Structure 1
Amino acid sequence: MRLHHLLIALLFVVLLGVPGFTHGIRNRRSCLRNGGVCVPLGCPGHMRQIGICHGHAVKCCKKKK
């Protein structure tokens, strides 16, 4: 039983580092606070999507590292 608890804790820690899993960027203010910009329709090639700004048409994009 202790092994199950350890595995669940490990899974939680691994998923915590996944981008977008904990952020929940859903408006312009949170997008800007996380270093992104709002772009209509989709992110250009040098950027990646980190959330949405308003509705599903406007994406929150951030420069790729």
Structure 2
Amino acid sequence: MRLLFLLFLLLGCLIQTASGVFGDIRNPVTCVRSGAICLPGFCPRRYKHIGVCGVSAIKCCKKP
């Protein structure tokens, strides 16, 4: 039973640390701190969409 508890704890830690990778950026300050830029519309070809800058129309884009 202890082993099962430890496995769930480890899984929870992995999921929590991976949440920042999938676009937790929701404001311009966080976007700029992560080394990205805010652009209206879509991200250019070489940039990756990592979040939004306040509203969903302005995307946070970063070079991979």
What TM-score, normalized by structure 1, do the two folds share? 0.76
Could you say what secondary structure the match of 2:22 adopts?
coil
Instruction: Report the alpha carbon displacement of residue 6 of structure 1 after superposing the two structures with TM.
Output: 1.4
Identity, % of aligned pairs?
Answer: 42
Could you say what secondary structure the match of 2:56 adopts?
coil
AA at the equivalent of 1:20: F
Q: Which residue number in structure 2 is paired with residue 20 of structure 1?
A: 22
Instruction: Report the alpha carbon displacement of residue 55 of structure 1 after superposing the two structures with TM.
Output: 1.0
* 1:1-65 map, 5 Å: 1-15=1-15, 16-18=17-19, 19-20=21-22, 24-64=24-64
What TM-score, normalized by structure 2, do the two folds share? 0.77
Structure 2, gaps ≥5 residues long: none
Q: Give the number of aligned pairs.
A: 62
